Amino acid sequence: MNIFSFPTPRQTPTDPLHEEARDWLVLLTSGRATVADAKALRAWCALSPEHAQAFEQAKALWQQLAPAAEQVAQPRHFGRRAFLGGAIAATAAVVMVRVGVPGGFAGLVADYRTEVGEQRQVNFSQGVSLALNTQTRISRAGQGIELLEGEVEVLAQGVQPLKVQAGEGWVSAAQARFNVRNTDHRVCVTCIDGAVSVDVFGRSVQLEGGRQLTYGAAGISEPVVVDTQTVMAWREQVLVFNNVTLATVVDEINRYRPGMLVLLNKELGQRRVQARFSLQQLAGVALLIRDAYGAKCTELPGGVVLLS
């Protein structure tokens, strides 16, 4: 096949299901897909065997085009154009609708921010310091802050309580070290040392060191005792997973790793994992998952790896 020709209709089925599958693949390789997009694709492929097969066929077509595309000066750019030609008419609209930034539109003008894999220390005010984890957006809110998206460790040693808004709730403390995470419309508050107050949904809950609660659309949980060293492992450039599903592990790794791991095997995703990863290992983590769990890895442009 000439590398400048487009796939024929026989090679690229044009029914709606196959068009949706190609839309998904183009979104993944756009460099703008989010963890939520990866979860949505996994759910889409699980809708029926026909959905899963359509995506496999779209993936196979992309792989057929890739060797030819590598012969031109700009392989990734041409490869996508070749794939798109005659196959997808509404890709731009799909990407624009699905793509988001951490913290939404407010995140674009956040006062403090970190990108994928970045961590940052901020001296917010006298007696208050912030440690921002990967993909975090924070804005000033009066004398306090609003955590729009991401994760922050707060060390408060001031006279007046610092207030942190996250989702629908407020966390406040004058003398404490605590961690607040706001991801996937769910907030998790962990008190490391001292004591904090969490006010949400008309309730006020006191957390002491070593206790954690979550809140979101499903309501507020009761405080539980947690291993704070595991919660705060990211401060040591480490991710620790204790008896969680592989799907959870993949979602967490995607917060730190450029590109994206997309887990398409539902059964594989339910495997329980006990693991510890250095953040420096994450570039090759797909191969570790392949070797440990027998997953099939398919690499796509932009650091995207499909695990099936």
Q: Residues in the chain, how many?
A: 308
- Quick one: 218 and 286 in the same domain? no
Low-confidence ranges of the chain (pLDDT < 70): 1-14, 65-108
- Quick one: 206 and 169 in the same domain? yes
Does 1 map to a domain?
no
Q: Is the pTM of this model over 0.85?
A: no
- How does DSSP assign 228-263, residue by residue? HHHHTGGGGTEEEEEEEEHHHHHHHHHHHSSSEEEE
- Quick one: 200 and 121 in the same domain? yes
Q: Which of 229, 254, 283 is the last residue of a domain?
A: 229
**Whole-number pLDDT of residue 32:** 72
CB–CB of 29/302 below 8 Å? yes
Does 258 map to a domain?
yes
Which CATH number fits the domain that encloses residue 123?
2.60.120.1440
Tokens of 295: 């997953």
Q: Which of 229, 256, 288 is the last residue of a domain?
A: 229
Does 2 map to a domain?
no
- Quick one: 77 and 194 in the same domain? no
- Quick one: 118 and 167 in the same domain? yes
- Quick one: 39 and 128 in the same domain? no
Does 64 map to a domain?
yes
Q: Which of 175, 208, 229 is the last residue of a domain?
A: 229
List the beta bridge partners of residue 188: 181, 214
- Quick one: 112 and 225 in the same domain? yes
Does 164 map to a domain?
yes
- How does DSSP assign 27-66, residue by residue? HHTTT---HHHHHHHHHHHTT-HHHHHHHHHHHHHHHHHH
CB–CB of 271/243 below 8 Å? no
CB–CB of 180/194 below 8 Å? no
Q: Are strands 224-225 and 211-216 parallel, antiparallel or unpaired?
A: antiparallel
- Quick one: 161 and 139 in the same domain? yes
Which CATH number fits the domain that encloses residue 261?
3.55.50.30
Phi/psi of residue 150, each to 5°?
Answer: 105, -145
**Whole-number pLDDT of residue 104:** 56
3-class DSSP state of 285: helix
Tokens of 122: 């901020």
274 Rama class: left (phi>0) / alpha (psi -120 to 50) / beta: beta
> Position 230: which residue type?
T
- Quick one: 115 and 206 in the same domain? yes
Measured CA to CA, the distance from residue 5 to residue 302 in angstroms comes to 23
Domains in the chain, number: 3
Which of 172, 194, 193, 190 minimizes the C-alpha distance to 133?
Answer: 190
- Quick one: 209 and 274 in the same domain? no
DSSP category for residue 209: T
Does 219 map to a domain?
yes
Query: How many other β-carbons are positioned within 10 Å of the β-carbon of residue 34?
Result: 17
**Whole-number pLDDT of residue 14:** 60
- Quick one: 139 and 199 in the same domain? yes
**Residues spanned by the domain of 262:** 237-307
3-class DSSP state of 118: coil
Greatest C-alpha distance within the chain: 72
Strand order in the sheet with 304-307: 260-263, 304-307, 297-300
Number of helices and strands (H, E) in the chain? 10, 16
Tokens of 233: 């492992």
List the beta bridge partners of residue 234: none
Question: 101-122 as b/e, with b when 16 or more CB fall inside 10 Å?
Answer: bbbeeebeebebbbeeeebbeb
Does 3 map to a domain?
no
